[in-house]
Structure 1
Amino acid sequence: MKLTDADNAADGIFFPALEQNMMGAVLINENDEVMFFNPAAEKLWGYKREEVIGNNIDMLIPRDLRPAHPEYIRHNREGGKARVEGMSRELQLEKKDGSKIWTRFALSKVSAEGKVYYLALVRDASVEMAQKEQTRQLIIAVDHLDRPVIVLDPERHIVQCNRAFTEMFGYCISEASGMQPDTLLNIPEFPADNRIRLQQLLWKTARDQDEFLLLTRTGEKIWIKASISPVYDVLAHLQNLVMTFSDITEERQIRQLEGNILAAMCSSPPFHEMGEIICRNIESVLNESHVSLFALRNGMPIHWASSSHGAEIQNAQSWSATIRQRDGAPAGILQIKTSSGAETSAFIERVADISQHMAALALEQEKSRQHIEQLIQFDPMTGLPNRNNLHNYLDDLVDKAVSPVVYLIGVDHIQDVIDSLGYAWADQALLEVVNRFREKLKPDQYLCRIEGTQFVLVSLENDVSNITQIADELRNVVSKPIMIDDKPFPLTLSIGISYDLGKNRDYLLSTAHNAMDYIRKNGGNGWQFFSPADERNGKKSVWF
């Protein structure tokens, strides 16, 4: 085929090609009149071909661009460079019904027979522009997040980061781009597995997270939680990875505070020492602080513990939290003084909140300890010291070279109350006897219940006249019958008395018990004093 034949053939298919093109095609002449308007253009603008052909191109130009458009064309026709000629760009066109759609168009200048024509090829770009706008908004949103975000390529190189990342770590995108996070970030040697765990997280192929200790560019130590999320295409090929960071330094400090205090509680230190441990741990978390704890006794605050130092804090601000029991009742007060601006108010409040709960646990622990001590050392029914308490008391006297007089007292005829009214009323009878004992008890005397109906009175008055006087006073305690359920019950006492200088408590208790048993076997209602002198001489014990 000759060149002229090819040209003629091309001319023959040029307009059919434009007519059937999927892109809208618009051709204007030297007078800016529309010469060609294909079906795709009809669909884009909403005009029929006959409405457009022969009319000025202005009818297809968006209203906001019409005033300036004739000057642009004139300038270009006279040899000026058109800003859009030969380029592909987005333009929001205005349809016949007034609605607007985003398009992408290319403008070409055509010179023929000394005349200048313009051909515009236009296609619908609504979906692309919507995606582009969505991406733009997403980038803005990510860039304005307060949580650092980086985007990695499949080789784990940083391709994008937001401003929060720059603010936290000090690296802008020009410095971070192309670097791997484990190379860019300053990872301290301790904990020893810090770097390894970060590298393991980077190469995860599913969502995961971990915590690390890092150094900022200024050398500040911070604990961060890093999360990684792989992004796959429709064919499950890895496209990118999104990594987010959050500063959990304060959270780690609070967890450490809670862990240290709970660990200390497990070792059950003395109450005052436990309070000091709480104060010291709060101080270690809050910079430039002074902490005090108070326990409430009958509604009044009693000093429990304070910080190890009492240095004056400049520009101090005070925080106070009520320590409450499980039922909500106030049990103590936590006071914290911090230097103004040293910590955020929110962090101080979090520390105060968790600390008051820890202090409440310590108070509960002390309350439980005292209750257990009460059970170990005191009789639950009468509230009197029990046998364990008696042993400690006598051992202490013997260690101090004090010779006590031991009166072992058995209450007679309680069985009569049991047979008549039952055990509950018998307990009431014993409580009445105890109350009568208490009324006669002297400041230097010690009374305890060792079992059932047996009690021990310890006195330091050890001459014979005082011993016999006390024994008679004890007998007189039950000289009047006990009234139970409006019924009188005459009770008596069997009292065994033991005293010997330098003897231990087992000797004193056993000999007093023997003396009491002797009285009971002989009908009760009396007292016997054991004579150790005759026992030492190998003679039969003498009872007075």
Structure 2
Amino acid sequence: MDAPDVSVYGMLLPALEQSIMAAVLVDENDSVRYFNPAAERLWGYARGEVLGRNMRPLLPKALQAVHGSYMRSNREGGEPRAVGMNRDLLVERKDGRQLWVSFSLSKIDLSGRIHYLAFARDVSAEVARSEQNRLLLLAVNHTERPLFVVDGERRIVQINRAFSELFGYAAGEAVGCLPSELLASPHTDAETLARVRSKAWGTEGFNEEILARSKDGRDMWVKASVNPIFDEDSGQLRNQVIVMSDITEARRIRDFERDVLEALTSNLSFIGLGNFICQRIEAIAPGVLVSMFRVVGRRLRHWAAPSFQASYVAGWEGVEIGEGVAGYGTCAHRGEPVMLADIKAEPLRSAYCGRTPPAGCRACMVYPAKRRDGSVIGVFALYLRQGAPQDAYLRRIADISMYLCALAIEREESRQRLDELVHHDALTGLPNRNSLYRYTNDLLASGVEQEIAFFCIGLVRFKDVNNTLGYRVGDQMLVEIVNRLRSRLSGGAFLARLEGSTFVLVVSECSPARAAQVASLLLQVISEPVGIAGVLLDLSACIGVSHYPDEGCRDRDGLLQNAKSAMDQVKASGGGGCLFFSQGMNELARERLLLGTALRRAIAGTGLRLEYQPQVRLDGGGLHGVEALARWHDPEFGEVPPGRFIALAEEIGEIEAVGQWALREACRQLAVWRGQGVHVPVVSVNLSPRSFCSRALADAVAGLLREHALAGERLTIEITESAAMVLTPEMLETVHCIRALGVGLSVDDFGTGFSSLSNLASLPVTEVKIDRSFIDKCLEESRLRALVTAVIGIGRSLDLTVVAEGVETGEQCELLRRQRCPVVQGYLFARPLRPQDVPPWVERFGRAPAAADAAGRPGTGGMPV
């Protein structure tokens, strides 16, 4: 090697002084011969501190102790191996701060002496960046989420280890490929791929779920998060980092939940829905078999198990749940999951009672399905075949399935309740009209020739129970009667509630003779007393019977209508009993319909009128008052008897309107008589018990008294004894309000209702009326005579006015006078009078000589009859 020209170095020194790189010249004795300003800045030493001294302080600490031997040992062929090489070393400045320095060493011959010129550059920032990149790449390579990086040409330039593990590709196989070519599945949605391509090189990141395929051909759902990387200088998009996660299991569970929820809103039957849920679970969890049971009461009821043998499922039907009853019963009893890791070895295995689990199943996981209130309504079991994992994925399926099974069972319960509401009566649980029609249609369309009896059953005076004791008591009575009928009726009997207190019984294979026996049984059962709310009540029934194929009627509506017509005929007679339909009843039903329409017109217009029957005092011969009696003359039907149209008003719900009209008319007429100078002390008006259900009755009475300037004592309201004895607290309050106005309260038909004296004494009663049935036969029957005497005595003891009705003969009047009955009423004194006939009657009665004596000896004094 030729010796360098020393003059050249002389020219280079000024350049080295200005160099940004540190330059250090060391002689063969390791003494520093040159130290430029850049070196001063790098090491922090002044030039004077290092020139002529050993280079050791400038070296890394690891080399300071051995630098001489190191330099000598590394010489091969007369020079160190480091000559001509670049090397990064960690050096320490004078101030103790460490920094990475890149060294380049050159050998120089100066005047026959060997020197070494070292150039050094601070590369700490570069080393730090390199270390950061190394650590970042290490982190990326060891993260659990697969990722890859693509370049500007959309080709893969980097993958991490998780990517290789998920998809099976090594870096050499993936780098340089387009992601769509490497990862797309033949089943990947083309629209999704196109959407990803269009968004991939935008300025914003995005997420996308896509179906991908691994190297071994396995399809999987992944969620790709695409993140753009921009060049710091140009701002141009340089790379894309795509971070992926395997969502196959989550996607399967989500699709499973969606499919089951859609099935819940479909027309699938409950059994079909259960089978569908089982099959979907088995599809997303290979190696698992599913069975489901409802819990009804305390027993298991089969729901679905499509992959099980029927004999295995049937063995659990009806088994009572409880602790230790295998997995099913124990889970339902505890209300919490039961895990059987090894069915054959579990203590609960003995409870299988010989039932062999499905072949190949070694473990079982049983979960409860619960209502919102926490009660168990079902259980479902996941049987695991050999090798099936009991992992978090399966537990997630179970958690979702518990919720979905509960929804399915609750939906079925709601459907059953709705079916009950549509086809059954809510109060009694009996089939309703819709069910009756369906049953009758099926029976008549069966093609089997058979005799069928139709019974229409109505409870007599049941409205009085509702009006007096309230609807709650009425409902209890209906339920009690229905329960009795259910327990007494035999097979082949279909009982339905038509409406209110009307029922229909259909009995197949029933001859007319047997129909009569069934009707007799019905009357007997219904007439048995019922004790409710501390009151012993008894009812009677009106029963109409139609028979198929008699009477020539062969359709459902005709047969049911015929039975109802017969029942209406019994009801119109005023009592209970049974009647078989005859053709003439249709005419009666038609007439009753027309009559009801006419009655409503009469109430709304001027078709009704009042007649007044005088009530005479026996103790003084004066006029006690008059009783207002409703009368109706219709242009078409003529004079309609009161017993008929009052009962009809009850039936069609117009009885309250009749009572309100009678009150208004009686008060108005009393004011008219007063204006005419005719003294009528009091007028009595009979009201239905239903009128007392209205709290407005007292206000209405008070308003009428004010309107016509009448004292309350001028008005008496009559109520039947049987109704008075069953007044509710609310109705009694209304009665007391009326009495507070001074209005009298009369108990009509006293003695026919079998009331107790304690009840009578507790009522604000001012008057009792002895029923005409007692007066009519009191002369012939001593027991009736004794009863009349007793009633008069009771009235006198309780300071009540006693009025005897139906007095028609002088002998009856004489008997009552001897018993000191204060007031009498009947044809002996006067028939009911028209309003205009009352003043002349009062005048003649007042002029009659010895009126009081005449009252005791009828026929004298010209008293009108």
Matches within 5 A, 1:454-533: 454-460=502-508, 462-479=510-527, 482-501=530-549, 503-531=554-582
Q: SS where residue 320 of structure 1 aligns?
A: strand
Shift of 1:320: 2.4
Change (3 A) 1:302 1:479: closer
% identity of equivalent residues: 40
Q: Assess if the C-alpha contact under 8 Å between 1:198 and 1:212 holds in 2.
A: no
* Matched residue type, 1:324: K
Shift of 1:510: 0.9
* Matched residue type, 1:267: S
Aligned twin of 2:753: none
Asked if residue 423 in structure 1 is aligned to residue 478 in structure 2, the reply is no
The number of residues matched between the two structures is 533
Aligned twin of 2:775: none
Shift of 1:69: 2.7
Q: Assess if the C-alpha contact under 8 Å between 2:187 and 2:211 holds in 1.
A: no
* Matched residue type, 2:141: D
Superposed CA deviations along residues 108-134 of structure 1, whole A, max 9, x for unmatched, are 333312223233333433332222222
CA distance in 2, matches of 1:50, 1:202: 62
Change (3 A) 1:320 1:116: farther
CA distance in 1, matches of 2:205, 2:568: 81
Q: Assess if the C-alpha contact under 8 Å between 2:369 and 2:403 holds in 1.
A: yes
* Matched residue type, 2:569: Y
Aligned twin of 1:85: 83
Equivalent in 159, 162, 181 of residue 161 of structure 1: 159
Matches within 5 A, 1:178-197: 178-188=176-186, 191-193=189-191, 195-197=193-195
Q: Assess if the C-alpha contact under 8 Å between 1:397 and 1:403 holds in 2.
A: no
Aligned twin of 2:279: 280
Matches within 5 A, 1:88-487: 88-96=86-94, 98-188=96-186, 191-193=189-191, 195-234=193-232, 235-308=234-307, 314=360, 316-342=362-388, 345-400=391-446, 401=448, 402-460=450-508, 462-479=510-527, 482-487=530-535
TM-score calculated relative to the size of structure 2 = 0.56
CA distance in 2, matches of 1:309, 1:499: 51
Shift of 1:254: 2.1
* Matched residue type, 1:159: V
* Matched residue type, 1:229: N
Change (3 A) 1:301 1:108: farther
Change (3 A) 1:336 1:208: same
Aligned twin of 2:808: none
Superposed CA deviations along residues 482-534 of structure 1, whole A, max 9, x for unmatched, are 555434555332211111238333222111111111122222422211146x8
CA distance in 2, matches of 1:182, 1:81: 57
* Matched residue type, 1:220: R
* Matched residue type, 1:510: Q
CA distance in 2, matches of 1:88, 1:146: 38
Shift of 1:322: 2.0
Q: Assess if the C-alpha contact under 8 Å between 1:410 and 1:495 holds in 2.
A: yes
Q: Assess if the C-alpha contact under 8 Å between 2:188 and 2:212 holds in 1.
A: no
CA distance in 1, matches of 2:45, 2:479: 110
Shift of 1:461: 6.2
Q: Assess if the C-alpha contact under 8 Å between 2:293 and 2:302 holds in 1.
A: yes
Change (3 A) 1:331 1:99: farther
Kindly name which structure, 1 or 2, has the bigger radius of gyration based on alpha carbons.
Answer: 2
Shift of 1:150: 1.1
Q: SS where residue 304 of structure 1 aligns?
A: strand
Q: SS where residue 477 of structure 1 aligns?
A: helix
Structural RMSD (CA): 3.3
Q: Assess if the C-alpha contact under 8 Å between 2:210 and 2:221 holds in 1.
A: yes
CA distance in 1, matches of 2:225, 2:423: 56
Change (3 A) 1:315 1:126: farther
Q: SS where residue 499 of structure 1 aligns?
A: strand
Equivalent in 44, 55, 58 of residue 57 of structure 1: 55
Q: Assess if the C-alpha contact under 8 Å between 1:497 and 1:529 holds in 2.
A: yes
CA distance in 2, matches of 1:341, 1:200: 44
Greater CA drift, 23-32 or 233-242: 23-32
Superposed CA deviations along residues 19-71 of structure 1, whole A, max 9, x for unmatched, are xx4x4443322211233445554454454544434332222322223344323
Q: Assess if the C-alpha contact under 8 Å between 2:147 and 2:241 holds in 1.
A: yes
Change (3 A) 1:340 1:93: farther
Shift of 1:452: 1.5
- Unaligned 5+ residue runs, structure 1? none
* Matched residue type, 1:285: I
Aligned twin of 2:17: 16
Q: Assess if the C-alpha contact under 8 Å between 1:290 and 1:338 holds in 2.
A: yes
Shift of 1:380: 0.9
Q: Assess if the C-alpha contact under 8 Å between 2:453 and 2:512 holds in 1.
A: no
CA distance in 1, matches of 2:374, 2:108: 88
Q: Assess if the C-alpha contact under 8 Å between 1:287 and 1:338 holds in 2.
A: no
Change (3 A) 1:176 1:386: same
Q: Assess if the C-alpha contact under 8 Å between 1:182 and 1:199 holds in 2.
A: no
- Unaligned 5+ residue runs, structure 2? 310-356, 591-865
